[in-house]
Amino acid sequence: MSLALRPSFGFGDRLGLATPGHIVVVRQTNFAPVFAQQSVRENTRTGRTPQQVMDDAKRAVEVAKWDLPWGADADHLKSVEDIPPFVEAGYTFFTIDPGEYVDNSADTDSLDVLKQKVRSTNWEEVSTFYSNQGDEQTWGPFDVELLMRAVVKYGKVIQHAAMMFQYLSQMKDEFDFEISVDETESPTTPLEHYFIASELTRLGVRFTSLAPRFSGRFEKGVDYIGDLNVLDAELAKHAAVTAHFGTYKLSLHSGSDKFSVYPLIAKYWGGRIHVKTAGTSYLEALRVLAKYSPDLFLKIYSLSRECYEIDKRTYHVSAQLDRLPSTNDLPSLLDDFHAREMLHVTFGSVLARFGTELKETLGKYETAYLEGLRAHFEKHLQLFQAQV
Ligand code: ZN
């Protein structure tokens, strides 16, 4: 079933062993959980299928007797071919990543180039529809040039998302549908956000959440990097856009460890949110190893160091290997910015070589893992809890 507009929280679980911990912590909140959640990119790297991810989550749900609604998120779907295995495995939440359809040069194209480019779009219809709109709105008015830039930049994104929605609608009656542009090159302005939401609505796409790309950096597994005052002002405008439509939630991707941002998200959106965390449950597993199985941890750590430069290419991270701390206190590495990011993005290489050993060892320290996950996510959820 769909979670619709309820506040929801996505827990990625790359090992298939973290759901018991997620259940313990989400029980204390009003969030609707998404227990199964893996992107196509993650499945490729972990060698798991959508069905296996689903089975791991289901098993934990049954054991823990979780009887409230929960979701399963097919994350960062790029093309229609990605969809069927997730539908067959019973996923309920579909996140479309149309990032490759963004025309990033639209931000800087000359007027002449823009005029050329809009010829192949539905410009006439769009310019008629949006003229005289938004003059008194927080996100600002469209002048012809801004509208052209938006059409060129996001026109194909909107078409692709609509096509994915139609495809899914033929396979399923009820589902959550999310559009994520969080991994695009430039931030989504509030005006662009308005344009995307408005066009999707016009095309009859019923989406439950939207993930814009905000300014500053939302890197994996670490706190926000950027100016919080600038972000605050920007979020106020995005919140005006979502309030205008009132039909979808704000989705925060790379949502783990963004402790300085949560109060702002809670302030503007209250419970109208979806928060996505992906790899930090894997980092908590490594914390257990650092404490109880230092030899295995060190093997994993040095493999991560070897693979980082290559593995990081499809992720937004800025950790530098020459800034890794030298310490004998292994668990403290899991609190270091550089080590955290390095370990976060190298999971595929690590699981290919040490996956079996890692899971076996973790099985011996189930209670410690549960406790680590509880502490980690409690810190996240507490910052939202007053609002949801
Ligand atoms: Zn994302």
Architecture of domain 8-279+378-385: Alpha-Beta Barrel (3.20)
**DSSP-based three-state secondary structure for 286:** helix
**What value does the mean pLDDT of the chain take?**
94
Q: What pLDDT shows up at residue 64?
A: 97
Q: What pLDDT shows up at residue 387?
A: 76
Per-residue pLDDT tens digits for 154-207: 999 999 999 999 999 999 999 999 999 988 888 999 999 999 999 999 999 999
- In Å, what is the CA distance from 2 to each residue of 34, 175, 223, 273, 388? 10, 5, 30, 14, 18
List the chain domain ranges: 8-279+378-385, 280-371
Cα 183 to averaged position of ligand 1 atoms, centre (Å): 6
Q: What pLDDT shows up at residue 198?
A: 96
Per-residue pLDDT tens digits for 285-323: 999 999 999 999 999 999 999 999 999 998 889 999 999
Environment of ion ligand 1 (residues, CB < 5 A): 182, 253
Q: What pLDDT shows up at residue 184?
A: 82
Active site members: 75, 178
Query: Is pLDDT at 137 greater than 80 in this prediction?
Result: no
**DSSP-based three-state secondary structure for 182:** coil
Query: Is pLDDT at 213 greater than 80 in this prediction?
Result: yes
Among residues 182, 321, 163, which one has the least CA distance to residue 254? 182
Cα 181 to averaged position of ligand 1 atoms, centre (Å): 8
Cα 98 to averaged position of ligand 1 atoms, centre (Å): 11
Cα 50 to averaged position of ligand 1 atoms, centre (Å): 18
Report the pLDDT averaged over residues 21-46.
94
Token pair for 216: 């500053």
- In Å, what is the CA distance from 128 to each residue of 120, 122, 258? 16, 10, 40
CB atoms within 10 A of CB 116: 12
Distance CA 112, CA 121 (A): 15
Query: Is pLDDT at 386 greater than 80 in this prediction?
Result: no
Lowest mean pLDDT among 93-97, 183-187, 332-336: 183-187
Cβ-proximal residues to 53 (8 Å cutoff; 6+ apart), any chain: 13, 16, 36, 37, 38, 43, 72, 89
Q: What is the pTM of this model?
A: 0.94
- Which H/E stretch holds residue 234? helix 228-245
Cα 294 to averaged position of ligand 1 atoms, centre (Å): 32
CB atoms within 10 A of CB 87: 17
**DSSP-based three-state secondary structure for 10:** strand
Q: What pLDDT shows up at residue 135?
A: 61
Per-residue pLDDT tens digits for 241-263: 999 999 999 999 999 999 999 99
Q: What pLDDT shows up at residue 163?
A: 98
Q: What pLDDT shows up at residue 240?
A: 96
Cα 250 to averaged position of ligand 1 atoms, centre (Å): 13
